[in-house]
Amino acid sequence: MNFHPFVLPFLIGFVLFFVITACKFTLWIRHLTVPQKKTIRDNIISRKTFISVWEAIREGLIHRNIYKKNPLLGFMHTSLALGWFLLIIVGKIESSVYFGKTLEAPWETIFFRFFAHGIHSYPGAKFFAFSMDFLLMVILLGVLLALTKRLHSNVFGMKKTTQQAPLDRIALTTLWFVFPLRLLAESSTSALYSGGSFLTASVGKLLTGVVTPEVSLGFWWGYSIAIGFFLSTLPFSRYMHIPTEILYIFLKNWGVTSQETITGFTQIQVNSCSRCGICIDVCQLNTAAKINNVQSVYLIRDYRYQQLKESVADQCLLCGRCVEACPVNLELTLIRKQVREKNAPSHNIPIDCTLQIHKSNAEIIYFAGCMTHLTPSIISAMKKIFSSAKVSYHFLDEQKGICCGKPLIQQGLLSESRKLRDFNTQLIHNTNAKTLVVSCPICYKSFTEEYSLNVEVLHHSEYIERLLHNGRLRIKKSSLKMVYHDPCELSRKNSRKEEPRNVLQQIAKLIPTSVEKNNSICCGGSLASTGLPPEKRKQITNHAIQKLTENKPDFLITSCPLCKKTFHQAKLIEVLDIAEISAMHLHEEITPISRTWEGSKQLAHLFSGKKLPETFQK
């Protein structure tokens, strides 16, 4: 067996890396919940495992998702990951062929050119030498791109790149040194003993006469130290994402899902973040309000290093744009909610759950929600739509509503929110209704995701679409120009993007915007943020309105009472809910809503049969 003391740093790093990573993996898997472990056992022997292998290659090596978002960034990652991976594989085959055995020592593979220098005549020697040089060149190109990204992130079209923690900087620096040192080591050997291919031989020629065997050995020592250092810091740095992401891909494909609280699965996700920084550029806190130190990448980094501050955890609006953008498909908003739970002080919120429960024979039950009670014109509009379509309904929270519990979850108050959930579930089930129509997307998301209800839950935009489709509701088309704002809670995971648009197309001219559907933005009014100052919220709102109204619409339509209220109070454009605009375009003759006091006064006089005083008749 070939051996030289210079391989020791590499060997130590190599062993440390395997031992620490194995320990960490074991710990995380032990911290999975019982159902999560059962899911793994049930699915480990299935087609899903093969799918995971393919996905691991696709994402871990080729980084297809990063390519889709940013081709140059994708190339940088591919050249480093796939290049290095192939370098190891091809190197392994080469050393196996050369030494004529299948299991040689790892240092014999890694430092092959040191132990087997000179010109060789084993089968395919030239081909191997060329391939290894080519791969090294690709990796060096990747390193060059990585350096450029660090210094000028705008070359990559990235406005902001991630600010790294000190340990990451060390790991990053050693990683940058690994390949230039390998080039120098192999080239110097080539200079002394010839061999190599187009890259190492050419650099070797330049070095001929300059390098002595001592200098060459120095380069090999340097290369070994750099790689050993990198491997031993890897489990503590962001590069832990390389092995962890593969584990995450397998668990995800086997069907492991997150819980409300932190589990081993959260830890695995936290360690799978490569800190690419794609989430910073899509975040409105950055683009509209110039806050660039609280994004998901920083939440995860600070949480991992146990340095998380509330100012980082609590400003986020939980709009979910970063979740859509994340190339590793991490459940970023969910992780944030879990982390907030850990931070949330124990509250004792008195919750009054003493509502009377009614049975109802109505066709549907209607739940307006707290936010809709603050925008009563949406409720009026819905009542009008119900009466026009002759829908019998039971208004569940007409007199006194109970919160769906979502705002509490967003603050991390899980036990309180569970109380509300249990109560509401009982309330809804006791009505014996089949369909529940909800006006608030926050409640809608809560009912569809957090609850397990045995009724059909529809957002009112879906329900209006259904009524129009069934011909129960008839509306007139006007020539107004409108844009539609997708509320976050309705457009991301729930994906109710087409239903409201189908309704609006029947009412008026719907014009597209640059921030719709998958690229939709937050209105700035989200209840999820407790740490964002009002002036920053205002910046986000104004920026959103500016984006939405680029094509000069007459109206801004949305389907969320909170978005409506937030946009309305910015006083920049006329904002209406989809229910309101639908109610205004109903086919039959209806008495106009009295929008002014004068109007309501006249109506009042009609009621009482009194004559108007003369002063008002003008």
Shortest Å distance, C-beta 509 to another protein: 25
Shortest Å distance, C-beta 373 to another protein: 5
Q: Which residues have a Cβ under 8 Å from the Cβ of 496 and sit 6 or more positions away?
A: 459, 461, 462, 490
Of 138, 137, 139, 142, the closest CA to residue 200 belongs to: 137
- Tell me 307's DSSP state: -
380 contributes a contact to another protein by CB under 8 A: yes
Q: C-alpha angle 98/100/106, rounded to 5°?
A: 75
d(CA 273, CA 294): 15
Question: Cβ distance 135 to 88 under 8 Å?
Answer: no
307 contributes a contact to another protein by CB under 8 A: no
- Which of residues 596, 611, 617, 618 is near another protein by CB under 8 A? 596
Tokens linked to 579: 């229910």
Q: Which residues have a Cβ under 8 Å from the Cβ of 426 and sit 6 or more positions away?
A: 357
Classify the phi-psi angles of 471: left when phi > 0, otherwise alpha if psi is within -120 to 50, otherwise beta. Answer: left
Shortest Å distance, C-beta 357 to another protein: 20
Shortest Å distance, C-beta 612 to another protein: 10
Of 193, 158, 381, 190, the closest CA to residue 276 belongs to: 158
Task: Please tell me the count of residues contacting another protein according to CB under 8 A.
Answer: 31
Stretch of 152-160, 257-265, 566-574, 582-590 lying at the interface with another protein (CB under 8 A): 566-574
Stretch of 84-92, 215-223, 280-288, 568-576 lying at the interface with another protein (CB under 8 A): 568-576
Angle between helices 8-30 and 213-233 (to 10 degrees): 10
538 contributes a contact to another protein by CB under 8 A: yes
d(CA 441, CA 447): 10
- Which of residues 69, 117, 466, 601 is near another protein by CB under 8 A? 601
Q: Which is nearer to another protein, 112 or 386 (CB)?
A: 386
206 contributes a contact to another protein by CB under 8 A: no
d(CA 152, CA 281): 15
527 contributes a contact to another protein by CB under 8 A: no
592 contributes a contact to another protein by CB under 8 A: no
- Which of residues 164, 194, 258, 377 is near another protein by CB under 8 A? 377
Q: Which is nearer to another protein, 155 or 606 (CB)?
A: 606
571 contributes a contact to another protein by CB under 8 A: yes
Q: Which is nearer to another protein, 255 or 376 (CB)?
A: 376
Print the binding letters for residues 38-57 with another protein: x by CB under 8 A, - otherwise. Answer: --------------------
534 contributes a contact to another protein by CB under 8 A: yes
Shortest Å distance, C-beta 349 to another protein: 13
3-state SS, residue 510: strand
Q: Which is nearer to another protein, 158 or 378 (CB)?
A: 378
543 contributes a contact to another protein by CB under 8 A: no
585 contributes a contact to another protein by CB under 8 A: no
Stretch of 43-51, 164-172, 448-456, 598-606 lying at the interface with another protein (CB under 8 A): 598-606
- Which of residues 306, 346, 608, 617 is near another protein by CB under 8 A? 608
Q: Which residues have a Cβ under 8 Å from the Cβ of 124 and sit 6 or more positions away?
A: 97
373 contributes a contact to another protein by CB under 8 A: yes
3-state secondary structure 513-546: CCCCHHHCCCCCCCCCCCCCCHHHHHHHHHHHHH
Q: Which is nearer to another protein, 256 or 562 (CB)?
A: 562
209 contributes a contact to another protein by CB under 8 A: no
Q: Which is nearer to another protein, 435 or 542 (CB)?
A: 542
86 contributes a contact to another protein by CB under 8 A: no
Task: Give just the sign of the alpha carbon dihedral 197, 203, 208, 210.
Answer: negative
- Which of residues 375, 417, 424, 439 is near another protein by CB under 8 A? 375
DSSP sequence for 540-605: HHHHHHHHHTTT--SEEEES-HHHHHHHHHTTSS-EEEHHHHHHHTBSS--PPP--SHHHHHHHHH
**Interaction residues for another protein, span 393-452 (CB under 8 A):** 400
597 contributes a contact to another protein by CB under 8 A: yes
3-state secondary structure 206-259: HHCCCCCHHHHHHHHHHHHHHHHHHHHHHHHCHHHHHHHHHHHHHHHHHCCCCC
546 contributes a contact to another protein by CB under 8 A: no
Which residues contribute to the site for another protein (CB under 8 A)?
A: 373-377, 380, 400, 534, 538, 565, 568-571, 593-597, 600-601, 603-608, 610, 613, 615-616
